[in-house]
């Protein structure tokens, strides 16, 4: 039976037989063609007959078709923009890392609650950067600025890097770069199962590979366009067997009817099916659902049938930086979520570490 989370073929865009993203439109910044990866991608899409246009800046791409804002949004999510990352000042990425590693922005998924709805705002297209040597050189500078300390980089702040890895190979480059850094560590999170090209990367244990998981209800209703629970779980097993430190981010923690049983069921399935190798160094990160007023209006515009509950009256307003706050669960409800998840994780994964609840 169809639910709001089941994606119309037209919404999902083109995928290969393996479920890999295939863009409908591709834009290049002229400068990107001066890098081997840019040139390679240009030749690839020319060969495949994907319509290519040039754009003066990856920040302002004009010409993505669509009559309405929603149509433009959907088409933008099927558009690949190949550019050069000029700003080499990395954003902070608390609480999971010191810095965000900028490899890409935008995502092919259509998770209703996704913070990218506002974070990349009017530029929801998929941007990938080809000047990785410059980006890694900057990361090295940040690592050197903290001698004797571990510096962590998060590669999934503005994108799901696994979903586009078949296009650029940048994630593997980043993993191997960080494998060579004594004091550098990489982390990223994904909702996709396309991990095979990363299994032989020389990670040296310096990359924590995390999967985003959720209760069946949340995945079914709010995560169209991503890999299913079972696929993510199988991919997590492969990643653990490849020797990566593994983690799960359970986010957004969402209070649907029967949420306690739903989250218990999810963790029990995980316990039953996860390969034993994965539990040796396992982390969990817990993030409750949150939204802003701007996000709410964009979500309702883009996914008008969504069941996502965003009633400000039922939530607590949490002030953030620069006066920009968000709506989270009221203290009591947040505590219930935290206690339930932490207790179940302790019961089922006694060696695992919960890194934070936020």
Give contact residues for ligand SF4 (rule: CB under 6 A).
Answer: 107, 109, 111, 114, 116, 160, 191, 226
Task: List, in order, residues 6 or more apart from 37 with CB less than 8 Å away.
Answer: 130, 132, 168, 169, 170
Ramachandran class of 243: left when φ > 0, alpha when ψ lies in -120 to 50, beta otherwise: left
Q: Residue 168 or residue 226: which is nearer to ligand SF4 going by CB?
A: 226
- Is the peptide bond preceding residue 252 cis, with omega within 30 degrees of 0? yes
Q: How far is CA 204 from CA 11, 139, 175, 177, 180, in A?
A: 39, 17, 9, 10, 8
Which of 326, 296, 293 is CA-nearest to residue 308? 296
Nearer to ligand SF4, 206 or 208 (CB): 208
If the CB atoms of residues 158 and 181 are measured against ligand SF4, the closer one turns out to be 158
**Cβ distance to ligand SF4 smaller for residue 192 or 349:** 192
Q: Which is nearer to ligand SF4, 114 or 334 (CB)?
A: 114
**Residues 23, 81: Cα–Cα separation, whole Å:** 10
Peptide bond into 95 cis (omega under 30): yes
Q: Which is nearer to ligand SF4, 61 or 295 (CB)?
A: 295
Check: CB of residue 282 under 8 Å from CB of residue 240. Answer: no
Distance (Å, whole) CA 204 – CA 296: 41
**Nearest distance from C-beta of residue 130 to ligand SF4, angstroms:** 21
Q: Least distance (Å) from ligand SF4 to the CB of residue 107?
A: 3
Cβ 350 to ligand SF4, closest distance in Å?
29
The nearest distance, CB 42 to ligand SF4, in angstroms, is 25
At its nearest, how many Å lie between ligand SF4 and the CB of residue 11?
12
Q: Which is nearer to ligand SF4, 113 or 136 (CB)?
A: 113
SS3 content of the chain, % helix, strand, coil (to 5): 40, 20, 40
Tell me the closest approach of the beta carbon of residue 191 to ligand SF4, in angstroms. Answer: 4
With respect to ligand SF4, which residue has the nearer C-beta, 109 or 184?
A: 109
Q: Please say which residue, 105 or 181, places its beta carbon nearer to ligand SF4.
A: 105
- Burial string for 266-290 (b: 16+ CB within 10 Å, else e) reads bbeebeeebeeebbebbbbbbbbbb
Give min distance, CB of 32 to ligand SF4, in A: 23
Classified as helix, coil or strand, 154 is strand
Sequence-ordered alpha helix ranges (H) in 51-103: 69-76
H or E segment to which residue 178 belongs:
helix 170-179
Q: Phi and psi (nearest 5°) for 305?
A: -95, 10
At its nearest, how many Å lie between ligand SF4 and the CB of residue 46?
28
Cα(357)–Cα(340) distance, rounded to whole angstroms?
12
CB 119 to ligand SF4: min, Å? 9
């Amino acid at each position: 039976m169809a639910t709001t989370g089941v994606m119309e073929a037209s919404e999902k865009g083109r995928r290969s037989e393996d479920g890999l993203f295939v863009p409908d439109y591709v834009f290049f910044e002229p400068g990107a063609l001066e890098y081997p990866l840019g040139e390679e991608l240009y030749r690839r899409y020319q060969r495949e007959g994907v319509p290519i246009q040039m754009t003066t800046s990856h920040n302002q791409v004009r010409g993505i078709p669509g009559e309405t804002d929603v149509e433009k949004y959907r088409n933008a999510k099927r558009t690949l923009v190949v550019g050069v990352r000029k700003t080499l000042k990395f954003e902070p990425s608390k609480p999971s890392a010191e810095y965000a590693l900028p490899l890409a922005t935008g995502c092919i998924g259509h998770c209703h609650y996704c913070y990218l709805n506002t974070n990349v705002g009017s530029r929801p297209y998929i941007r990938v950067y080809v000047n990785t040597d410059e980006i890694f050189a900057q990361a090295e500078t940040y690592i050197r600025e903290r001698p004797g300390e571990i510096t962590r980089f998060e590669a999934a702040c503005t994108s799901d890097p696994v979903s586009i890895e078949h296009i650029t190979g940048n994630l593997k480059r980043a993993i191997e770069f960080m494998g060579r850094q004594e004091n550098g560590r990489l982390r990223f999170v994904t909702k996709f199962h396309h991990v095979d090209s990363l299994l032989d990367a020389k990670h040296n244990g310096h990359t924590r590979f995390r999967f985003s998981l959720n209760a069946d209800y949340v995945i079914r209703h709010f995560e169209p366009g991503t890999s299913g629970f079972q696929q993510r779980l199988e991919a997590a097993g492969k990643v653990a067997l490849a020797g990566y430190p593994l983690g799960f981010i359970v986010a957004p923690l969402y209070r649907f009817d029967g949420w306690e049983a739903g989250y218990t069921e999810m963790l029990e399935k995980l316990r039953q099916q996860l390969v034993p190798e994965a539990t040796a160094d396992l982390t969990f990160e817990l993030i409750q659902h949150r939204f802003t007023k701007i996000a709410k209006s964009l979500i309702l515009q883009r996914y008008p049938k969504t069941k996502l509950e965003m009633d400000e009256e039922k939530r607590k307003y949490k002030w953030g930086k620069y006066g920009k706050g968000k709506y989270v669960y009221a203290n009591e409800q947040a505590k219930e979520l935290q206690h339930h998840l932490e207790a179940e994780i302790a019961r089922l994964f006694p060696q695992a570490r919960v890194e934070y609840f936020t």
